[in-house]
Amino acid sequence: MNAVFRTALGTEFDRLHPELQRRFNVDGDTHLGCVGTGVMDRVWRGAAFTVPFLHLGTLRHILFPETGCGVPFTIENYAYTDSFGRPTLTFVRTFQVAPDRRRRFDATMVWSERRGVLVDYLGTHQHLAVDLHVGVDAAGALTIRSGAYRFRSGLRCPAALTGEARLREWYDERDGRFGIEVAVTNRRFGPLFGYTGSFAVRYLRPGRAPVPAAVRPLRENPRE
């Protein structure tokens, strides 16, 4: 099965730091996936008026309103073939925002051969899809910038209702950990949500155990 990030980056993939190459070459064959555990140094949100919007996101595991420092964090990346025959990679991020409360931010990614773009389906039911523009910076870090958003029906979401997400992930050789920084902003309302921190990864070899049902979406979207 093809690794979606290797396909999306093409020859640029070889410019990633070797540890990032290993992490984003997960294809379900050599490794079933990888699970990262660490701490987000800071989880933040925008102004108070963003809170109702972020609360809505909790219903489908997309966004959440809680903030904090030193937030325990897990990211689960599993590779599998979805019900439409597409190589898929999960991005299930869990934040322990309080001793008795966890929040999730779920996404599944596929490569659209027809459109030549990486497509990120957000949430438990893939109601939203967003194009991702991926690259590699001069330090060998992975960069991602979101593009157009679409509803499950295929209609585009108005830009006023969405945010541009920017992600940078790198590998710190001194600490032996991956670093990550994410920021979501709206062109009119400014910063909405983000986090920054670090984590270590363990790789999972294929075996009898399938991809956990808890990390797969409850409903898949055929539209790319």
pTM reported for the whole predicted model: 0.94
Query: The tokens of 163 are what?
Result: 């945010």
Structure confidence by residue, pLDDT tens digits, 81-135: 999 999 999 999 999 999 999 999 999 999 999 999 999 999 999 999 999 999 9
Measured over the CA atoms of residue 7, residue 10, residue 16 and residue 21, the dihedral's sign is: positive
149-185 b/e with 16+ CB inside 10 Å = b? Answer: bbeeeeeeeeeeebbbbebbbbbeeeeebbbbbbbbb
